Chain A
């Protein structure tokens, strides 16, 4: 039989038994018993955030960097509604987090009580599953079920809404960590004959490509190793989604760079012209496919995914395998071994074509000795941090795409960005979450001047816990990606996307008790980056970059992969008129 504990104690005990050592949260009336239980133990460390959205992103950062489940605790009403963006972010990017929310006492539910919100109703659409605990007897089971659902199959967020009287009530706790779920049982086996078919198709193909995604990262670091082995064996070129960066090393010889709307020319052209596409753990998102009826018209498509709803959702495929990516790669390597396949076709012609596309040098930009180009800033940041134990997070916008294009990731779990939901304000709290999990590592949030202000309050959190989180702001005084679209699609009417009245970021850092650094000229950049890295504690680096630079290459709306805009195509007309119009504010 179980041990007698209060509901609040059961919550903390279950978190401890699940192997989570740090949680993020913000107290309030409806979670006071849980905070009392937190106070009276020292196994689970609580990090006080400054806004519940920050708690959710920090839990995501913790989860994505460690591979464990992230946990946040929020109070009822506004505490829970503030967490909604973070939960939705985790849903779209398949990040396992458990949100514990307080609720008004059971007898007050439905009475519009103080700080009451229909939390399970509100979060039903942005969680994999949620529970309202109505009986203390159910709490231990629900706690462990929640962790199981969050991490199993395609991972994602879950929420447990616990009324205050349940937190006070006494119940019996049992460690149910190994309990089997009665309905939610994602695929654990794999169709071996289908895997053999994949190998046959590869052997017969002339222009194969691997298109990998976040599923490889979610499947664990070993899956990345299997992917590397698989590519070594087969010599297939590989591209990846934004979410999948780091699964295959950015310096690897088969790497084509990221694909999609701001992906490389070679990756998108190869996707368009391939005869065999092997999608592993990605989901044919609209930022990836571009115009759907012109998406890779000549290829046979294979899709490996743990989630049946992702298969044939946007693009119909020829062969689907419902399985964990790691299981698939392992089985694929087994087939190669068992069938004693010593060599695959060399794909010489295919590689020659790819080399031609690479020569376009799609990421080139005009160097400038007077103004820091944002691409150059990321390149220098990469060079000065690549040999360190570095984690990179980002906010959302141009800086995010430049980071994805110019920072090379060698290992999985090192790159954390809001891909699906595109949440501005994600990067900094997520970086704090990583830094809590890895206090000795270098954690840098590459930010924009607009995004960083969306969760800047988390600087207090970083200062309080002496986190060394660094914020590297590519400051161009614009919501750059919004402006880019306005320039290209809305007749260059720069509507409300100029960041007027920005704070002095150096003084802002100092006001919080952190360090502020700024760099305005290319010649000062390296020194400033080194100072940022070497200064202990949180640092904001305000890197003032060319304000009207745009992010290329780019697949415009309604266009196919082979119809990309390169930087050279657009600079003249569209962008130069932008420079005329707002010339006064220009560098």
Chain B
């Protein structure tokens, strides 16, 4: 019936909107299955997860903070926030990017970067680590593990540079974030 689209009982539309990266901070009851509930919602509704960090933050009240970076159009990000807020064990959802702009909220990530090499490359790796203020947390005769804490972009840059001096593997924690100032996130 429709020239461009397959005959169907559904309307086919493609939506192409500007995508933004947003950091959400979600306070949840630390009960079994709560993480599955949150990320299951993302999977079920086709939302993206770029980064995810979860840990208990208050053992007395059994609260955990999920810090999650997602990518989508402003309206999709708003939908994500409302959908997550509706989950029963969720106390609070803050969209740090919406409140503070892309670089406003305090965001940090930790990465462990393993580099293998010898001779000049080994020296260069050490020099770069020093320049980035990365700590050397493990060393063998032909390898290092560097630990770097910082903004995601900085870590991305460091890893990119390491790739030319013998990068072997990387482990990253994902983003931890808080509001700046005296207010609760």
A residues with a Cβ closer than 8 A to B are: 120-121, 124-125, 128-129, 132, 134, 149, 183-184, 286, 290-293, 307-309, 311-313, 316, 485, 488-490, 556-559
Contacts and interface: CB of A to CB of B under 8 A. Distances in A.
B124 interface: no
Nearest to B4: A558
A149 B12 contact: no
Interface stretch (B28-36, B111-119, B131-139): B28-36
Interface residues of B, number: 29
Contact of A121 (B5, B36, B79, B82): B36
Nearest to B8: A557
A363 to B, nearest CB: 21
Contacts of A312: 75, 78-79
Given A292-B13, A558-B1, A558-B2, A149 B36 contact: no
A129 B88 contact: yes
Contacts of A489: 1, 7-9
Nearest to B44: A125
B37 interface: yes
Interface of B: 1-2, 5, 7-13, 29, 32-33, 36-37, 40, 44, 75, 78-79, 82-83, 85-91
Nearest to A183: B91
Contacts of B75: 312, 316
A286 B36 contact: no
Contact of B9 (A183, A184, A485): A485
A551 to B, nearest CB: 13
A557 B33 contact: no
B1 A557 contact: yes
A183 B29 contact: yes
Contact of A132 (B11, B33, B82): B33
Given A132-B33, A292-B13, A558-B12, A125 B7 contact: no
A557 B89 contact: no
Given A286-B11, A489-B8, 17 more contacts: A120-B33, A128-B88, A132-B32, A292-B11, A308-B82, A308-B85, A309-B79, A309-B82, A309-B86, A312-B75, A316-B75, A489-B1, A489-B7, A556-B1, A557-B1, A557-B2, A557-B10
Q: A286, A307, A489, A558 — which one has the most chain B CB atoms within 10 A of its CB?
A: A558
18 contacts: A121-B36, A124-B33, A128-B88, A129-B87, A129-B88, A134-B32, A183-B29, A286-B10, A292-B11, A309-B83, A312-B79, A489-B8, A489-B9, A556-B1, A558-B1, A558-B2, A558-B5, A558-B11
Given A125-B40, A312-B78, A557-B1, A183 B89 contact: yes
Contacts of A286: 10-11
Contacts of A485: 9
A489 B2 CA distance: 10
A183 B12 CA distance: 38
